[in-house]
Structure 1
Amino acid sequence: MSDKSSLVSNVSNNDIEALWNSVEEETADPREGIFGWSSVSWKVNREAALFLGAGRAALLQLAHPWVAAALDQHSNLRNDPVARFHNTFRVVFTMIFGTLSQALAASRHLYSLHTRITGELPEGVAGYRRGGHYAANEVNALLWVYSTLVESALMAYDCVLPPLSQEERKSYYAESRMMAALFGIPAEALPADLGAFEEYNRGMWDSDRLGVSTLSREMAQGVLHGRGSLVTIPEWYRALTAAWMPERLRVEFGLGFGRQEQQAALKALRWLPIIYRRLPGAVRFVGPYQEALARLEGKHVRSLVVTSNRFWMGQGRMMFSVGGKQDPDDEDPG
């Protein structure tokens, strides 16, 4: 068995500083943020349909032994999966929809958090040995987490809305490379284009860089059943998540996908687009996107937007900044 634990390329302070500088240089309008209202990234990530792919992304991340061990040893995922959901989207949505200063602050928070997350694997699985060292700020581990978010977002979008054109998909991936920099991933570590990105994902699914351990299987069941929270996960959501998983990992996770689950997933794929496309924008578009529009239009953030933000991020506003204070570039006008 090869030991992937030895393939370590941690993001140094100099590395992340260089990445932050590059993001600042490439951002056209700091108030719009790293993408802006006309980007494909805003078009895709404003959709509440992203929630449909959240379970898939979470399980794909847990299929990386480093990620599973880190979440078990350094987070409260087992007891409070909703908090993990909030923590993820608080960072990601702030990077996408926040001002440049907010996006950079979210990146600094993430980098600081990851520098403290190290440990040893509790069991051997796939190409990893028991006791092997892991670090959250390792480039390849960061690349995998980023990839699961980008790919699952595209899958969820195409599930309920007219699929993006190939050119839009290419643009979406090209834009996402800016967010990858905020994750701490240098450009040279990223697949060069959309085709290479898709090939990278397929290669990972079949490689010994992923493997479902007893730990990751237990944690995945907790995620899919909402254990430790008041959230009830419907059967159709679990079936859809299973349908979207690569077959090898679906089997390793022990996800049921017999006739009943297949029918539930097919039914969901039929009725979800019909219902979703009828939703008003106030419900369909996530709070952080609506907050960003209010910022650009010089308007107050409405109470419904605050409520949506609390669902997605666990707080009413995007407020990553030094000392936890609100970014002065994002204060309510008037």
Structure 2
Amino acid sequence: MRPVRRGLGQTLRAKVAGDDAPAKAAEIWGTPGERWFAPGDPIWTVHSDASMFVGGIRALLLQSLHPLAMAGVAGHSGYRSDPWGRLERTSGYLASTTFGTIEYAEETIAQVRRIHARIRGKAPDGRPYAASDPHLLDWVHLAEVDSFLTAYQRFGPAPLSPADADTYVRQSGEVAARLGATTPPTTVAELQERLDAFRPELESTAASRDVARFLLLSPPLPLAARPGYGMLVAGAITSLPGWARRELRLPPRFAAWDWPGEQLGVVGAGVVRWAMTDPSLAHDRRSAG
């Protein structure tokens, strides 16, 4: 099984981090210097786990329900023409700001802020949007943190304690505030309150349903990889709140579907975790000194 594990791990890493993944890993983990976070911090625990694959799918589905945020994604992200490039950029941002040196993390955030400053337009209903809008940055952050934490608590190796879950929310907010989000939540309870406050702005649109169809039914993957991806998708769907599933026209909450769907998510995340922890990949990561 060693060649299978090594091959799967290398393939997954290349898809997530790009063809130059070893060089990026060496730069992020191997560069000496002070970091915002350290091994053992909840944000490090969550963002280094395979459950992020499930959380990432869930976050995209949830984020798509804000019409202005979705208009920006549809118009500028290239999620259809270059989905792997978008995934690589997103994972690179998370890795840089979570595991990289402060200097490297700040450079990454500055680069994203420059890109956001150029992204603006109008939604199909005529409302203007800007990627640098703090309100939209709030929504993107809330959807991501909720999704990553929910996925880890359900599909990670062991759930965070309530105190560590609060710390994860706070630590994630520290990064989001530097990017431009306003007063990010610092506890799980506050996160839920902020998510609830956004509900009146969220709705199903043709664009959000198109994203769901693309992610769930026609991902840019070879046929051999789709069963494994389907496991991750099943976990993402079952972990979404019922209202979001209704808006996206996904199967409603139902025990006969949700229990096996959640178990598929556990298996899918477990396979990814097994592959990504192959010893042949470990040399690219160096503990921060």
TM-score (norm 2): 0.77
Q: 1:116 to 1:240 in 2, by over 3 A?
A: same
User: Match for residue 136 of structure 1?
Assistant: 131
User: Match for residue 294 of structure 1?
Assistant: 286
1:7-86 map, 5 Å = 31-86=33-88
| Rg larger in structure | 1
Q: Which amino acid aligns with 1:90?
A: G
Higher relative contact order (CA 8 A, sep 6+): 2
> How many angstroms apart in 1 are the aligned matches of 2:120 and 2:136?
12
Cα deviation 1:227-272 (Å, max 9, x = unaligned):
445463644433332222222221121113486xx54542253465
User: Match for residue 266 of structure 1?
Assistant: 259
> How many angstroms apart in 1 are the aligned matches of 2:162 and 2:253?
33
Does residue 253 (structure 1) correspond to residue 248 (structure 2)? The answer is yes
> How many angstroms apart in 1 are the aligned matches of 2:105 and 2:288?
16
User: Match for residue 215 of structure 2?
Assistant: 223
> How many angstroms apart in 2 are the aligned matches of 1:276 and 1:73?
31
> How many angstroms apart in 1 are the aligned matches of 2:66 and 2:154?
25
Higher helix share: 2
Q: Which amino acid aligns with 2:172?
A: S
Q: Which amino acid aligns with 1:136?
A: A
Does residue 232 (structure 1) correspond to residue 234 (structure 2)? The answer is no
Contact 2:36 2:98 in 1 (8 A): yes
Contact 1:56 1:245 in 2 (8 A): yes
Helix, strand or coil at the partner of 2:251: coil
Q: 1:149 to 1:289 in 2, by over 3 A?
A: farther
Contact 1:120 1:133 in 2 (8 A): yes
> How many angstroms apart in 2 are the aligned matches of 1:229 and 1:282?
18
Q: 1:133 to 1:277 in 2, by over 3 A?
A: closer
TM-score (norm 1): 0.67
> How many angstroms apart in 2 are the aligned matches of 1:116 and 1:279?
36
Contact 1:57 1:149 in 2 (8 A): yes
User: Match for residue 98 of structure 2?
Assistant: 96
User: Match for residue 153 of structure 2?
Assistant: 158
Helix, strand or coil at the partner of 2:181: coil
Cα deviation 1:286-309 (Å, max 9, x = unaligned):
x99975x51536xxxxxxxxxxxx
Give the C-alpha shift of residue 62 in structure 1.
0.8
Helix, strand or coil at the partner of 1:37: coil
Q: 1:288 to 1:180 in 2, by over 3 A?
A: farther
Does residue 243 (structure 1) correspond to residue 238 (structure 2)? The answer is yes
> How many angstroms apart in 1 are the aligned matches of 2:63 and 2:264?
28
Tell me how large the CA RMSD over aligned residues is.
3.0
Give the C-alpha shift of residue 60 in structure 1.
0.9
Helix, strand or coil at the partner of 1:185: coil
Q: 1:102 to 1:32 in 2, by over 3 A?
A: same
Residue ranges of structure 2 left out of the alignment (5+ in a row)? 1-31
Q: 1:294 to 1:46 in 2, by over 3 A?
A: same
1:93-132 map, 5 Å = 93-122=95-124, 130-132=125-127
Identity of paired residues, percent?
26
Q: Which amino acid aligns with 2:191?
A: F
Q: 1:43 to 1:61 in 2, by over 3 A?
A: same
> How many angstroms apart in 2 are the aligned matches of 1:238 and 1:263?
17
Q: 1:197 to 1:254 in 2, by over 3 A?
A: same
User: Match for residue 202 of structure 2?
Assistant: 210
How many residue pairs match? The answer is 254
Contact 2:63 2:140 in 1 (8 A): yes
Which one of 87, 90, 99 corresponds to residue 89 of structure 2?
Answer: 87
